[in-house]
A = this chain, B = another copy of it.
Amino acid sequence: MSKITFLGGGSFGSALAVLLAEKNNIVSIYDRNENVVNEINIKRTNEKYMKNSIIPDGVTAFNNIEEAIDGADYIVLSIPSHVIRSMCQKLKNKISKDIPIISIAKGIEENSDKRLSIVIEEELDNPVVILSGPSHAEEVIMKLPTTIVSTSKNMKYATDVQDLFMTSYFRVYTNEDLIGVEVGGAVKNVIALAAGVIDGLGYGDNTKAALLTRGMKEIARVGVALGGREETFYGLTVIQRLLF
């Protein structure tokens, strides 16, 4: 049994918080919106981000970061990429250096073009684990079979996080290619946007297949140039998010 704190009460974070609470962990969610906090604690719902779901008693919400992180064994950054740095700055000197920071955010930092694990490392001395997977939080809530990738510079932490989240319906793979997982998860959005354009233009499956196939090759080229491993770009991080 661990204590896990989610910083951010959005849909994917909330889905994972429920999953961990159902595994008998103690789960805290920090959210800056007091209404969300009260709704979770009093009504046991989070209608904006988790429609028609009951949040188990193992989850407690806080409107105060210090209270939320008190005693945490793991901290999950379930916030958008553009606030990762400022959130890490708020955590500075408030958490023990051995607490793994788990990021489920996607993207590259604006202006600096840095991967999010780099951003976190620049602000905190803690181990960083990237969980990269499906965007469909509602399917996790429905316990539909889902796969996700856990990666870290130090794979010991990636494996710990794998064990933490693994259930019969939520399968966590580990991947040693931190760079590839982060770059793939961010860059694939370019191709995903183009796939939307294809739909909008009224093109068909043949066209989309062509885009995805060539797009995967291009993602892989960018990723390899940035230090990732080619095979990562044909894996879960890219495909899972690209297709749907």
Chain A residues with a Cβ under 8 A of chain B: 133-134, 136, 139-140, 142, 144-147, 171, 203-210, 212-214, 216-217, 234-236, 239-241, 243-244
- A181 to chain B: closest CB distance in Å? 13
**B207, A145: Cβ atoms under 8 Å?**
yes
**A134, B244: Cβ atoms under 8 Å?**
no
- Contact partner, A206, options B145, B210, B234, Cβ 8 Å: B145
The A contact surface, by secondary structure, is helix
10 A-B pairs with C-beta separation under 8 A: A136-B205, A140-B206, A145-B210, A146-B207, A146-B210, A147-B213, A205-B243, A210-B236, A216-B234, A216-B239
- Contact partner, A244, options B171, B208, B214, B235, Cβ 8 Å: B208
Q: CA–CA, A243 to B145, complex, Å? A: 19
**B240, A209: Cβ atoms under 8 Å?**
yes
- A100 to chain B: closest CB distance in Å? 24
Q: Please name the residue on chain B nearest to A171 by beta carbon.
A: B210
- A68 to chain B: closest CB distance in Å? 28
Chain B residues, CB < 8 A from A204:
136, 139, 142, 144
